[in-house]
Structure 1
Protein backbone atom coordinates (compact mmCIF):
# COMPACT_ATOMS: atom_id res chain seq x y z
CA UNK A 1 0.00 0.00 0.00
CA UNK A 2 1.38 3.39 -1.02
CA UNK A 3 1.06 6.02 1.71
CA UNK A 4 -0.98 9.12 1.07
CA UNK A 5 0.99 12.26 0.24
CA UNK A 6 2.37 13.69 3.48
CA UNK A 7 0.05 16.74 3.71
CA UNK A 8 -3.04 14.62 2.98
CA UNK A 9 -2.44 12.27 5.90
CA UNK A 10 -4.52 12.60 9.08
CA UNK A 11 -3.16 13.03 12.59
CA UNK A 12 -3.16 10.01 14.89
CA UNK A 13 -5.41 10.71 17.92
CA UNK A 14 -3.51 10.23 21.19
CA UNK A 15 -3.18 11.24 24.80
CA UNK A 16 -0.13 12.68 26.49
CA UNK A 17 0.56 12.61 30.21
CA UNK A 18 2.39 14.96 32.53
CA UNK A 19 2.71 12.84 35.65
CA UNK A 20 3.68 14.76 38.78
CA UNK A 21 4.88 13.24 42.03
CA UNK A 22 4.13 14.61 45.51
CA UNK A 23 7.22 16.84 45.30
CA UNK A 24 5.84 18.49 42.13
CA UNK A 25 8.44 16.87 39.86
CA UNK A 26 7.55 15.45 36.44
CA UNK A 27 8.05 11.87 35.28
CA UNK A 28 10.11 11.54 32.13
CA UNK A 29 11.41 8.41 30.41
CA UNK A 30 14.14 7.68 27.85
CA UNK A 31 13.01 6.00 24.63
CA UNK A 32 14.49 2.64 23.72
CA UNK A 33 14.44 3.35 19.99
CA UNK A 34 16.00 6.82 20.03
CA UNK A 35 19.17 7.21 22.10
CA UNK A 36 19.17 10.22 24.42
CA UNK A 37 15.54 11.01 23.58
CA UNK A 38 13.25 11.56 26.55
CA UNK A 39 9.51 12.07 26.63
CA UNK A 40 6.35 11.91 28.68
CA UNK A 41 4.15 8.82 28.45
CA UNK A 42 1.75 9.02 25.54
CA UNK A 43 -0.27 6.70 23.36
CA UNK A 44 -2.97 6.19 20.79
CA UNK A 45 -6.65 6.37 21.59
CA UNK A 46 -8.39 3.17 20.50
CA UNK A 47 -11.64 3.56 18.56
CA UNK A 48 -14.50 4.19 20.97
CA UNK A 49 -12.15 4.64 23.94
CA UNK A 50 -12.46 7.65 26.24
CA UNK A 51 -9.22 9.66 26.55
CA UNK A 52 -9.24 9.17 30.34
CA UNK A 53 -9.37 5.40 29.81
CA UNK A 54 -6.52 5.64 27.31
CA UNK A 55 -4.47 7.55 29.88
CA UNK A 56 -4.69 4.78 32.49
CA UNK A 57 -4.19 2.01 29.92
CA UNK A 58 -1.11 3.69 28.44
CA UNK A 59 0.37 4.30 31.89
CA UNK A 60 0.03 0.61 32.71
CA UNK A 61 1.41 -0.46 29.30
CA UNK A 62 4.35 1.95 29.31
CA UNK A 63 5.41 2.36 32.95
CA UNK A 64 3.79 -0.58 34.70
CA UNK A 65 1.41 1.36 36.94
CA UNK A 66 -1.84 3.29 36.69
CA UNK A 67 -1.67 4.87 40.13
CA UNK A 68 -2.68 8.41 39.28
CA UNK A 69 -5.39 10.99 39.80
CA UNK A 70 -6.16 13.33 36.90
CA UNK A 71 -5.95 16.97 37.97
CA UNK A 72 -6.19 18.80 34.62
CA UNK A 73 -6.45 18.39 30.86
CA UNK A 74 -5.91 20.60 27.87
CA UNK A 75 -9.01 22.29 26.51
CA UNK A 76 -8.42 20.83 23.06
CA UNK A 77 -6.08 18.93 20.82
CA UNK A 78 -2.43 19.86 20.39
CA UNK A 79 -0.71 18.47 17.31
CA UNK A 80 2.76 17.97 15.93
CA UNK A 81 4.07 16.87 12.55
CA UNK A 82 6.63 14.13 12.16
CA UNK A 83 9.64 15.00 10.01
CA UNK A 84 9.15 13.74 6.44
CA UNK A 85 11.68 10.91 6.79
CA UNK A 86 10.02 9.59 9.96
CA UNK A 87 6.47 9.97 8.66
CA UNK A 88 6.95 7.22 6.08
CA UNK A 89 8.43 4.81 8.66
CA UNK A 90 6.15 5.43 11.64
CA UNK A 91 2.73 3.78 11.59
CA UNK A 92 3.44 2.53 8.03
CA UNK A 93 3.09 6.04 6.61
CA UNK A 94 -0.56 6.32 7.63
CA UNK A 95 -0.24 9.57 9.65
CA UNK A 96 1.59 12.87 9.30
CA UNK A 97 1.89 13.25 13.07
CA UNK A 98 -0.21 13.13 16.18
CA UNK A 99 -2.98 15.20 17.71
CA UNK A 100 -3.05 14.81 21.44
CA UNK A 101 -5.22 15.60 24.41
CA UNK A 102 -2.85 16.20 27.32
CA UNK A 103 -3.53 15.37 30.92
CA UNK A 104 -1.77 16.38 34.09
CA UNK A 105 -2.08 13.75 36.80
CA UNK A 106 -0.74 13.32 40.31
CA UNK A 107 1.13 10.05 40.90
CA UNK A 108 -0.55 8.34 43.85
CA UNK A 109 1.70 5.30 44.08
CA UNK A 110 5.28 4.68 45.12
CA UNK A 111 8.34 4.74 42.89
CA UNK A 112 8.65 0.98 43.43
CA UNK A 113 5.50 0.53 41.30
CA UNK A 114 7.17 1.98 38.22
CA UNK A 115 8.37 -0.86 36.01
CA UNK A 116 9.56 -0.17 32.47
CA UNK A 117 9.95 -3.90 31.73
CA UNK A 118 6.41 -4.13 30.37
CA UNK A 119 5.15 -6.53 27.69
CA UNK A 120 6.24 -4.13 24.92
CA UNK A 121 8.88 -1.88 26.49
CA UNK A 122 9.25 1.64 25.08
CA UNK A 123 11.65 3.07 27.66
CA UNK A 124 14.92 2.03 29.28
CA UNK A 125 15.28 4.68 32.01
CA UNK A 126 13.15 7.15 33.93
CA UNK A 127 13.47 9.96 36.45
CA UNK A 128 11.63 12.80 38.17
CA UNK A 129 12.73 16.31 37.11
CA UNK A 130 11.43 19.87 37.38
CA UNK A 131 8.71 20.33 34.76
CA UNK A 132 10.32 23.44 33.31
CA UNK A 133 13.46 21.46 32.38
CA UNK A 134 11.63 18.87 30.27
CA UNK A 135 11.55 20.65 26.87
CA UNK A 136 15.38 20.77 26.78
CA UNK A 137 15.44 16.94 26.68
CA UNK A 138 12.86 16.46 23.91
CA UNK A 139 13.52 15.76 20.22
CA UNK A 140 13.46 19.07 18.33
CA UNK A 141 10.31 18.40 16.28
CA UNK A 142 8.26 17.90 19.49
CA UNK A 143 9.67 20.84 21.46
CA UNK A 144 7.01 23.42 20.48
CA UNK A 145 4.29 21.02 21.66
CA UNK A 146 6.18 20.34 24.91
CA UNK A 147 6.72 24.07 25.46
CA UNK A 148 2.95 24.58 25.19
CA UNK A 149 2.07 21.67 27.48
CA UNK A 150 4.67 22.65 30.09
CA UNK A 151 3.46 26.27 30.10
CA UNK A 152 -0.12 25.13 30.63
CA UNK A 153 0.63 22.71 33.47
CA UNK A 154 3.57 24.45 35.16
CA UNK A 155 1.34 26.11 37.81
CA UNK A 156 0.30 22.60 38.94
CA UNK A 157 3.91 21.40 39.42
CA UNK A 158 4.04 22.15 43.13
CA UNK A 159 4.55 19.95 46.19
CA UNK A 160 1.39 18.56 47.79
Structure 2
Protein backbone atom coordinates (compact mmCIF):
# COMPACT_ATOMS: atom_id res chain seq x y z
CA UNK A 1 0.00 0.00 0.00
CA UNK A 2 1.29 3.44 -0.92
CA UNK A 3 1.85 6.01 1.82
CA UNK A 4 0.31 9.26 0.62
CA UNK A 5 0.96 11.18 3.85
CA UNK A 6 4.30 12.42 2.50
CA UNK A 7 2.71 13.98 -0.58
CA UNK A 8 2.29 17.77 -0.66
CA UNK A 9 -0.97 19.67 -0.91
CA UNK A 10 -1.87 21.20 -4.27
CA UNK A 11 -1.89 25.02 -4.11
CA UNK A 12 -5.32 26.28 -5.05
CA UNK A 13 -7.56 29.34 -5.04
CA UNK A 14 -11.27 29.20 -4.23
CA UNK A 15 -14.00 31.73 -4.90
CA UNK A 16 -17.15 32.40 -2.93
CA UNK A 17 -19.02 34.57 -5.42
CA UNK A 18 -22.01 36.33 -3.88
CA UNK A 19 -24.69 38.18 -5.79
CA UNK A 20 -26.32 41.38 -4.61
CA UNK A 21 -29.11 39.31 -2.99
CA UNK A 22 -26.70 37.43 -0.72
CA UNK A 23 -26.81 34.17 -2.65
CA UNK A 24 -23.68 32.27 -3.67
CA UNK A 25 -22.72 30.82 -7.05
CA UNK A 26 -22.42 27.03 -7.19
CA UNK A 27 -21.78 24.80 -10.16
CA UNK A 28 -22.40 21.13 -10.72
CA UNK A 29 -19.24 19.44 -11.97
CA UNK A 30 -19.31 17.93 -15.45
CA UNK A 31 -18.34 14.57 -13.98
CA UNK A 32 -20.90 14.69 -11.17
CA UNK A 33 -23.41 12.31 -12.75
CA UNK A 34 -20.77 9.59 -13.14
CA UNK A 35 -19.14 10.16 -9.76
CA UNK A 36 -19.90 8.81 -6.33
CA UNK A 37 -21.51 12.18 -5.52
CA UNK A 38 -23.99 12.90 -8.37
CA UNK A 39 -25.85 15.62 -6.45
CA UNK A 40 -22.75 17.55 -5.38
CA UNK A 41 -22.33 21.23 -6.23
CA UNK A 42 -19.29 23.39 -5.57
CA UNK A 43 -17.98 26.91 -5.65
CA UNK A 44 -15.39 27.74 -8.33
CA UNK A 45 -11.82 26.78 -7.47
CA UNK A 46 -8.65 25.75 -9.19
CA UNK A 47 -4.92 25.34 -9.10
CA UNK A 48 -2.43 28.14 -8.81
CA UNK A 49 0.01 28.08 -11.73
CA UNK A 50 3.75 28.39 -11.19
CA UNK A 51 4.66 32.05 -10.71
CA UNK A 52 1.02 33.09 -10.19
CA UNK A 53 -0.31 34.64 -6.98
CA UNK A 54 -3.51 33.35 -5.41
CA UNK A 55 -5.62 36.42 -6.28
CA UNK A 56 -4.65 36.26 -9.95
CA UNK A 57 -5.36 32.53 -9.94
CA UNK A 58 -8.79 33.11 -8.41
CA UNK A 59 -9.72 35.68 -11.05
CA UNK A 60 -8.41 33.44 -13.85
CA UNK A 61 -10.18 30.33 -12.52
CA UNK A 62 -13.44 32.23 -12.11
CA UNK A 63 -13.34 33.30 -15.75
CA UNK A 64 -12.24 29.86 -16.98
CA UNK A 65 -15.04 28.09 -15.12
CA UNK A 66 -17.89 30.62 -15.28
CA UNK A 67 -17.10 33.07 -18.06
CA UNK A 68 -17.33 35.90 -15.50
CA UNK A 69 -14.65 38.48 -16.17
CA UNK A 70 -12.84 40.72 -13.69
CA UNK A 71 -14.98 43.69 -14.74
CA UNK A 72 -18.04 41.99 -13.17
CA UNK A 73 -16.56 41.30 -9.75
CA UNK A 74 -15.32 43.11 -6.67
CA UNK A 75 -12.99 41.37 -4.24
CA UNK A 76 -14.45 41.77 -0.76
CA UNK A 77 -12.12 39.61 1.35
CA UNK A 78 -9.33 37.06 1.32
CA UNK A 79 -9.28 34.16 3.79
CA UNK A 80 -7.14 34.87 6.83
CA UNK A 81 -5.31 31.57 6.36
CA UNK A 82 -5.02 28.70 3.92
CA UNK A 83 -7.54 25.90 4.26
CA UNK A 84 -6.46 22.29 3.78
CA UNK A 85 -8.39 19.22 2.84
CA UNK A 86 -7.32 15.65 2.23
CA UNK A 87 -8.65 13.50 -0.55
CA UNK A 88 -10.61 10.42 0.50
CA UNK A 89 -8.79 7.10 0.15
CA UNK A 90 -10.61 6.16 -3.06
CA UNK A 91 -9.22 9.25 -4.86
CA UNK A 92 -5.66 9.24 -3.51
CA UNK A 93 -3.18 8.54 -6.26
CA UNK A 94 -5.87 8.78 -8.94
CA UNK A 95 -6.32 12.50 -9.58
CA UNK A 96 -3.73 15.24 -10.22
CA UNK A 97 -1.46 12.47 -11.57
CA UNK A 98 -1.10 11.15 -8.03
CA UNK A 99 1.18 14.05 -7.04
CA UNK A 100 -0.95 15.49 -4.20
CA UNK A 101 -2.73 14.28 -1.07
CA UNK A 102 -5.27 17.10 -1.16
CA UNK A 103 -5.41 20.84 -1.57
CA UNK A 104 -4.29 23.92 0.33
CA UNK A 105 -6.62 26.71 -0.65
CA UNK A 106 -6.68 30.45 -0.33
CA UNK A 107 -10.27 31.64 -0.59
CA UNK A 108 -11.68 34.93 -1.86
CA UNK A 109 -15.09 36.43 -1.25
CA UNK A 110 -16.16 38.29 -4.38
CA UNK A 111 -19.26 40.31 -5.18
CA UNK A 112 -20.82 39.66 -8.58
CA UNK A 113 -21.70 43.03 -10.09
CA UNK A 114 -22.92 41.74 -13.43
CA UNK A 115 -26.10 40.06 -14.56
CA UNK A 116 -26.89 36.38 -15.03
CA UNK A 117 -26.32 36.83 -18.77
CA UNK A 118 -22.61 37.38 -17.95
CA UNK A 119 -22.35 33.79 -16.68
CA UNK A 120 -21.26 31.29 -19.33
CA UNK A 121 -20.23 27.86 -18.07
CA UNK A 122 -19.67 26.61 -21.65
CA UNK A 123 -16.07 27.85 -21.66
CA UNK A 124 -12.90 26.41 -23.17
CA UNK A 125 -12.06 25.09 -19.68
CA UNK A 126 -15.60 23.97 -18.79
CA UNK A 127 -15.95 22.31 -15.39
CA UNK A 128 -19.67 22.71 -14.75
CA UNK A 129 -22.74 21.23 -16.44
CA UNK A 130 -25.17 23.47 -14.54
CA UNK A 131 -25.09 26.41 -12.15
CA UNK A 132 -27.35 28.29 -9.76
CA UNK A 133 -27.43 30.82 -6.94
CA UNK A 134 -27.75 29.15 -3.54
CA UNK A 135 -28.43 30.29 -0.01
CA UNK A 136 -25.07 30.31 1.84
CA UNK A 137 -26.46 28.18 4.68
CA UNK A 138 -27.04 25.34 2.17
CA UNK A 139 -23.42 25.21 0.98
CA UNK A 140 -21.99 22.56 3.35
CA UNK A 141 -24.77 20.12 2.44
CA UNK A 142 -24.24 20.66 -1.30
CA UNK A 143 -20.54 19.82 -1.49
CA UNK A 144 -18.86 16.41 -1.48
CA UNK A 145 -18.58 15.12 2.10
CA UNK A 146 -14.78 15.40 2.31
CA UNK A 147 -14.96 19.18 1.72
CA UNK A 148 -17.80 19.97 4.15
CA UNK A 149 -15.59 21.13 7.03
CA UNK A 150 -13.72 23.42 4.65
CA UNK A 151 -17.00 24.95 3.42
CA UNK A 152 -18.17 25.45 7.01
CA UNK A 153 -14.93 27.29 7.80
CA UNK A 154 -15.24 29.52 4.71
CA UNK A 155 -18.86 30.23 5.53
CA UNK A 156 -17.98 31.13 9.12
CA UNK A 157 -15.29 33.54 7.94
CA UNK A 158 -17.10 35.12 5.00
CA UNK A 159 -20.75 34.76 6.10
CA UNK A 160 -20.96 38.11 7.91
CA UNK A 161 -19.54 39.87 4.83
CA UNK A 162 -21.89 38.37 2.25
Output the TM-score relative to the length of structure 2.
Answer: 0.92
| Unmatched runs of 5 consecutive residues or more in structure 2 | 33-37
How big is the shift at 1:65? 1.2
Q: Tell me the matched-pair count.
A: 154
Match among 11, 21, 24 for residue 26 of structure 1: 24
Q: Structure 1: how far apart are the matches of 2:101 and 2:94?
A: 11
Q: Which residues of 2 match residues 3-152 of structure 1 at below 5 A?
A: 5-34=3-32, 35-66=38-69, 67-152=72-157
Q: Structure 1: how far apart are the matches of 2:114 and 2:74?
A: 10
Contact 1:116–1:123 at 8 Å: present in 2 too? yes
- Residue deviations 1:99-156 (CA, integer Å, cap 9, x gap): 0001000001111010110112110111111111111111100000001001111111
Task: Provide the aligned C-alpha RMSD in A.
Answer: 1.0
Q: Structure 2: how far apart are the matches of 1:32 and 1:24?
A: 26
Q: Structure 2: how far apart are the matches of 1:101 and 1:22?
A: 23
How big is the shift at 1:33? 0.9
Segments of 4+ in structure 1 off by > 2 A? none
| Unmatched runs of 5 consecutive residues or more in structure 1 | none
